[in-house]
Structure 1
Amino acid sequence: EINEIAQKHNLVVIEDGAPALGAIHKNKKVGSISTVTGFSFGPDKNMNTGEGGMIATNDVELAEKCRILRKNGAEKRYYHTYIGWNAKMQDPVETRINFPPVHLQPVYRKMFGTKEGMFPIAEEMAGRTLGLPIFLKITSEQQEMITEIITGSVRN
């Protein structure tokens, strides 16, 4: 198992638990298997809260650091021990630059020796293409709202 290998080499395994929220593997709940599991609750996930996420860990030190970081790096009021962040969304529309092209993913670089510049059009499009909300029952009103928010953001 990956966790056994990681332990032998003093490494940490970070899991993406978003697609498996509530799942059980070998009598263990996802989120309790590796050192860290991240769960996303974005609009395109199994559990949607509009924004947000969760980190599950059995590492007490890491859990405390996560608690501090989610409060803008403040351990207590007006006392910042880390540079933190506020990742709340202003508008209810998740938009992101699309994923890097497949040929730039580490596994493909290793397997096929691909590198930056080999597929310039794919690379250019990946940096210029936005992933907009899309789901089965999107209404015309929701599409219009998304269009207005994106158009307003681009103009500003």
Structure 2
Amino acid sequence: MTRGGRAMDRIPVASPLLGEEEAQAAHETVRQGWITMGAKTRAFEDAVAALTGARHAIAMNSGTATLHCLLAAHGIGPGDEVIIPAMTYISTVNAVLYVGATPVLADSEAGGFNLTADTVRPLITARTRAIMPVDMNGVPPDYDALAALAAEHGIPVLADSAEALGARYRGRPVGIQAQAHSFSFFANKSITTGEGGMVVTDDDALADELRILRNQGQEGRYHHTRLGFNYRMPDILSAIGLVQAGRAEGVVAAKATVARRYDQAFAAMPGVTAARIPDWAQSSWYLYVILVAPELRDPLAAHLDGLGIETRLSFPPVTIQPYHARRFGWSDATCPQALATFRRLLDIPIWPGLPEADQDRIVEAIFDFIAKRGPG
């Protein structure tokens, strides 16, 4: 197997697990001559539905497309508000803007990444049309509390679970807690098609609407009943995804093994805290996150980079993204907990097959840095 074709003397922060089976699946699809959305996509949808326990799965060509379609399918538009977390990838807020609605930001829980029912509750107004939580870094939010709050106000929970395929909430796969969940298959996710995404839902009417919207608003060939989008997933990507779906449980289990070794190491390391996983959650281990003192994070990342260890600083809160801050007048004070947490976060390498020797090299490099600089 290859790991993204990358040289292994440098330790990447993430690496897709791709092999001969994926290559053969793509080749066979090309050889058969049907490469746009078709039978392979339907089979891939069935596989993801089985993984999550959802009744329907609707594939599209990106995770962003699935979020856009979810909002459009609910008729959300100008004058409406959608509550999202401040700490998320930019796609979440952009999807709200694509439909002309207004994003309303909920701050993170103390010591974690996700919004909570308590941070959402004071933001609900007569214009709120949906709550869109994010399973940040593959860690589910408290869906029961969010669902109860949403039910009080008659609004749906539409989850951006891009990083959470394979995660579990109270023992059950993420994908059945909200009215709908959106997954991404970008190259650094648990399973990948290079680009791609999928919505899962038990709502029959919503599933039908999403299938129409992703295919140019067609109901029957060349019969366009909606303003739809060209968001179809091609079969050549779905063929890869079908193989990847068969690997999903093994990928998450392998990453969990790496995470346990890290947990043990960092539990005894002053100045380094592993990200908290709530009791109700099992992470997909999209990334492994450590928290250090804000003044140490960037120097530590530079130190590791010099040793050939790739890291990421995680997603900045949307409050400090230049375009969005200008447009909405957001500032460092808008969601202070999210910003404070972001300034401490560092993503370190985790992927299936990461050798224990490399894991030890990473831990030792962090320990040496903290020992010299102090815990902050």
Q: Same fold (TM over 0.5)?
A: yes
Task: Assess, with a 3 A threshold, how the Cα gap between structure 1 residues 113 and 2 changes in structure 2: closer, same or farther.
Answer: closer
Larger relative contact order (CA 8 Å, sep ≥ 6): 2
Structure 1 residue 46: Cα displacement: 2.4
Equivalent residues of 2:167, 2:173 under 8 A apart: yes
Q: Is residue 246 of structure 2 the alignment partner of residue 25 of structure 1?
A: no
SS in structure 2 of the partner of residue 44 of structure 1: coil
Q: Map of 1:65-76 to 2, 5 A cutoff?
A: 65-76=209-220
Q: Is residue 221 of structure 2 the alignment partner of residue 77 of structure 1?
A: yes
- Decide which structure has greater helix share: 2
Task: Assess, with a 3 A threshold, how the Cα gap between structure 1 residues 69 and 88 changes in structure 2: closer, same or farther.
Answer: closer
Q: For this pair of structures, how many residues does the alignment match?
A: 106
Structure 1 residue 13: Cα displacement: 0.7
Equivalent residues of 1:51, 1:88 under 8 A apart: no
Equivalent residues of 2:215, 2:232 under 8 A apart: no
Aligned to 1:112: 333
Task: Assess, with a 3 A threshold, how the Cα gap between structure 1 residues 79 and 99 changes in structure 2: closer, same or farther.
Answer: farther
SS in structure 2 of the partner of residue 80 of structure 1: coil
The residue type equivalent to 1:79 in the other structure is: H
**Percent of matched pairs sharing the same residue:** 36
| TM-score (normalised: structure 2) | 0.25
Aligned to 2:178: 34
| TM-score (normalised: structure 1) | 0.57
Q: Aligned partners of 2:229 and 2:161: how far apart in 1? A: 22
Equivalent residues of 2:161, 2:182 under 8 A apart: yes
Q: Map of 1:7-156 to 2, 5 A cutoff?
A: 7-87=151-231, 102=320, 104=325, 109=330, 112=333
Q: Aligned partners of 2:212 and 2:218: how far apart in 1? A: 6
Q: Which runs of 5+ in 1 are unaligned?
A: 90-97, 115-135, 137-156
Q: Which runs of 5+ in 2 are unaligned?
A: 1-144, 234-315, 336-350, 352-376
Structure 1 residue 101: Cα displacement: 5.2
Equivalent residues of 2:320, 2:330 under 8 A apart: no
SS in structure 2 of the partner of residue 56 of structure 1: strand
Per-residue CA shift, 1:47-97, capped at 9, x if unaligned? Answer: 2101211101122111110011121110111111111111469xxxxxxxx
